[in-house]
Chain A
Amino acid sequence: MQELKTLRYTEEGQVARVELLRDTINMRMVRELTAVCDHLEDESEATIVVFTGAGDDFCRGIDFRDFRPDQPVDIHGFNKWEKACVRIERLPKVTVAAMQGEVRGGGLQLALVCDVRIASPDAVFQLPEVKSGFLPGMATFRLAKYVGLGRAKRLIMQCPEFDAHKAVALGLIDEVAYDLDEGVQAAIDNFLPVHPVVVQLARRLLNESYATDFENAIGNFLAAQHRAVTQTAFLETLKRARQEDGGGD
């Protein structure tokens, strides 16, 4: 992997950790997130990836210093960010966002592409973009699926700040953890054992469920299910079931 300056990447057993070393997102961080995805897909044996902030805050959104007010805004930078988010959303791993302090803008967008979101009680959340004159990325696409359309409109258009308990009540995050490390460990334990192919298929079908009609969804499901049941994990399950039965019919 290339040298990382905005992220710290570590791997211990099945768990990879991606710490955000900056509290705002710049283009370098977007590139490095993509490089981390390359590594996770191509080389890493990890089955779980935890995204966390290195400092007091998880992430406060994009770094406006990347932009020059006297020059036209480069829309492709936004596209690169979205591509990095999709890469994370489709990783063949379980992804966990462990958040503390400020979780704003792009930070919250990043959390939305993870499979589970855990925050410490001090965390504050906000999608402030619209009041700053731009859009909160593809949170415009994902948020309503977590919280419902009405709440999504309020969160995106009124830009309120809210705390971790409120975030749980909204369905935006899964849990408040008084000890974030313990909370993350508990979440990891809850996911084990991780069968990467099956996890990826389940998540893909869930993500597609809002945009696919039933006729297409059932076809997709059968194709995915066939792939799942030809993996070793399911064959092992069948073998175990047989042994527990004493091998009889």
Chain B
Amino acid sequence: MPERPRILSVGTAHPPDRYTQDDILERFHTDSPAVKALYKASHIHARYLYLPEPGPDGRPHETMSELLHKHRQGALYMGERAIRRCLEPLGLGPRDVDYLVVTNSTAFMLPGLTAMFIRHFGFREDVHRTDVVGMGCNAGLNALNPVAGWAAANPGRNALMVCCEVNSALYIDDDSIGNAVVNSLFGDGCSAILVRADPGDAERLAPRILGFNSHIIPEAWAAMHYRWSEEHGRFGFILDRDVPYVLGTHAEFPVRRLLDAFGLKKRHIKHWIIHSGGKKVIDAIKYTVGITEHDVRHTVGCLRDYGNLGSGAFLFAYERLVREGTVRRGDYGVMMTMGPGTTIETALLRW
């Protein structure tokens, strides 16, 4: 059997400025009691964001081109740090990377973030690259699947996956509760992992990626989507209030299929690395997959400290798990991300 690819390193980054939910409410002079209540009930303490100065009316006024500029600058700032923090512990630099994959859903760019990162960070000109765009919060695992496949097919070579989202470059500010839900939830963040299939890494306490299982719910395709707003001349994000329940109904299926494929039971899984989608989503996963508050401690912790970071969020939780030092050789872990489609993606790891 060929060597399985391993996740050898993880690095994360966020914008320099941190805002509590109260800071944001104050900054933009939010008076609506309903919106304030929403922010307070989010189970988010703080987020790192690129926020504009309020206009004369106390509200943010960023043009579409300003948002795109912010997106680009934010992606460069965070991308450089996350990539460096991922590669440096391995003694690697951008020139050592053979395959670069970047996930992003917060702006449409052409050329995409891979090209921008290569230009700015010194990757080789013969680096393979793939941009995974428009897949939302689940994209990290949609991208990890081909990354792991590429790594397995190219033993000893370095695949770098970067999940980079500047959520503060995509918002509509009005008095609607729907937009307030979105604006109270998402944060900016970028995470990177290095994946390699190399027998020489066998001594490292680094998880092998054993397999994936996906689940899409086509009838819930509109539960999360970008919608063009004529009024504001930009995209806004629609997040249906039933999302937690749709995910809850289906979450057990991919997990069961993933574990069945390896003859495992839920009790064999020591570590759950789950996307910090929101408090209700985490609750739904807890009670349908049947896992404990302890199992979701890093998912909940990342939601509290960063908000929902989109595609890179689960790697922030992964980084906390690794740093916690509780992982032992032989432990199994399940990664789980969910997002638009509506879709649930899972991966099985073994340390």
Contacts and interface: CB of A to CB of B under 8 A. Distances in A.
Interface of A: 38, 41-42, 87, 200-201, 204, 208, 215, 219-220, 222-224, 226-227, 230
B283 A222 contact: yes
B7 to A, nearest CB: 28
Nearest to A37: B267
A215 B283 CA distance: 12
A219 B248 CA distance: 13
Nearest to A226: B245
Contacts of A204: 287
Given A204-B287, A220-B283, 17 more contacts: A38-B265, A41-B265, A41-B267, A42-B265, A200-B290, A201-B287, A215-B41, A220-B286, A220-B287, A223-B280, A223-B283, A223-B287, A223-B288, A224-B287, A226-B284, A226-B287, A227-B284
Interface string B227-262: 000000000000000001100110000000000000
18 contacts: A41-B265, A200-B290, A219-B279, A219-B280, A219-B283, A222-B280, A222-B283, A223-B244, A223-B248, A223-B283, A223-B284, A223-B286, A223-B287, A226-B248, A226-B249, A226-B284, A227-B249, A227-B284
Nearest to B281: A223
A41 B293 CA distance: 21
A111 B248 CA distance: 33
Nearest to B265: A42
Contacts of A41: 265, 267
Contacts of A227: 248-249, 284, 287-288
Contacts of B248: 223, 226-227
Interface of B: 41, 244-245, 248-249, 265, 267, 279-280, 283-284, 286-288, 290, 293
A201 B244 CA distance: 17
A142 to B, nearest CB: 16
B300 to A, nearest CB: 10
Nearest to B288: A227
Contacts, number: 39
B105 to A, nearest CB: 26
Main SS class of interface, B: helix
Contacts of B284: 223, 226-227
A227 B250 CA distance: 10
A18 to B, nearest CB: 18
Nearest to A87: B267
Contacts of A230: 249
A90 B245 CA distance: 23
Contacts of B290: 200
Contacts of A208: 293
Nearest to B40: A215
Most buried by B among A42, A219, A224: A219
Contacts of B283: 219-220, 222-223
A42 B287 CA distance: 19
A224 B248 CA distance: 9
**Nearest 7 interchain pairs by C-beta:** A223-B283, A223-B287, A223-B284, A224-B287, A219-B283, A226-B245, A227-B288
A224 B293 CA distance: 14
B104 to A, nearest CB: 30
A204 B286 CA distance: 11
B265 to A, nearest CB: 6
A218 to B, nearest CB: 10
A224 B245 CA distance: 10
A107 B290 CA distance: 27
A231 B109 CA distance: 44
Contacts of B280: 219, 222-223
Contacts of B265: 38, 41-42
Contacts of A38: 265
A39 B47 CA distance: 45
Contacts of A222: 280, 283
Nearest to B244: A223
Contacts of A223: 244, 248, 280, 283-284, 286-288
Most buried by A among B41, B279, B287, B290: B287
Contacts of B245: 226
A222 B279 CA distance: 12
Nearest to B242: A226
A204 B279 CA distance: 18
B338 to A, nearest CB: 14
A21 to B, nearest CB: 25
Contacts of A220: 283, 286-287
A17 B349 CA distance: 37
Contacts of A201: 287
Nearest to B286: A223
Contacts of B41: 215
